[in-house]
Structure formats: structure tokens, C-alpha cells
Amino acid sequence: MPEGLIKVALVEPVASDAARIKELVATGSIPAEITDALACERPDLAEAEIIMVGLQSLDATERELVARLHAGFPRTPLVVLAGSDASWAGEAMRLGAHHVLIKSDLTPKKMASTIRYFVHYTLHRKRAATDTQALDRLPEPQFAHMGS
């Protein structure tokens, strides 16, 4: 994968939807490399900066998939790509999804915007964690005016 590309893992069981999503990402304004996790023999989701998963109805199997992806990769943004009915979007969010998009509404601009948002979200979270750790290592302040 060329350096500088955002790594997106796609878990989409409908081949035509997977092809369309890859095309939307490729024609968007964000330099991203999308990996079809279902087409890989051994997908490495740990390398992904964003995981996108296509769902139809959030049945028991899809609920388990969302919960397992969130549990296995809690720091990786999880974007659900829903079929035409996303009345179950709230449930997907409770299970760990960060965002739900309707597949039929997707455009290159919307995909780029979503990827951009989650890249900034991830960077901000990493920076905040680093800053907090740096603050924890600082010694207690010594004030000149508080002498013995």
C-alpha cells in the first residue's frame, strides 16, 4: 500500500455493494486504500484506521458482528453501511458503531467526508491521550513565592 493512504477495511457481504463502495472511495477526495476484508483469506483488521461494515437488517448475526468488531477493535472507528432501512441505526450505535450511513445515499463526497471526519477524530483522540500521559509525568509545580 502506498504511504500516506488511509487504511479502510470493508466488510460487505454483497459483492455489488462492495464494488460500488470501493468506487465511491476511489473517486472521492481522500487518499484512501480500501481492503475488501471478505475477499482476503486472512484480513488484518488491526491495520485498519476505519472499519466499514455493510448490514441489511441488524438481525442476530449482524448484531453479533457489530459487537465483536467493536470489542476486538475498540479504538478503530466503526461505520455501518445500511441497506435502505436504517430504523435500527440506534441499536447499531449502542452495539459500538460510530456512524451509520444509508448505502443508497452514498456519494464520493459523503464517503470522503466520513473518512476525513474519523481520521481527524482518531488523531484528536491519540493527541489527547498523549497529552494526558505527558501531563501525568510532569513533576508537581514548584512555586517561587511559596518558600519556607
Report the distance separating Cα 102 and Cα 80, nearest Å: 8
pLDDT value at position 86? 85
Rounded alpha-carbon distances, angstroms, from residue 85 to 18, 88, 100, 101, 123: 18, 8, 11, 10, 32
Backbone Cα Rg of the chain: 19
pLDDT value at position 144? 42
Report the distance separating Cα 145 and Cα 147, nearest Å: 6
In tens digits, the chain (148 residues) has pLDDT values of 456 789 999 999 999 999 999 999 999 888 888 898 888 877 788 889 999 999 998 999 999 999 999 999 998 999 999 988 889 999 999 999 999 999 999 999 999 999 998 888 877 777 776 666 655 555 554 444 434 4
Q: Which three three-digit cell numbers place residue 148?
A: 519556607
Report the distance separating Cα 145 and Cα 38, nearest Å: 65
pLDDT value at position 63? 94
Q: What is the pTM of this model?
A: 0.80
pLDDT value at position 142? 44
pLDDT value at position 133? 60
CB-based contact 81:110 (threshold 8 Å): no
DSSP 62-83: HHHHHHHHHHH-TTS-EEEEE-
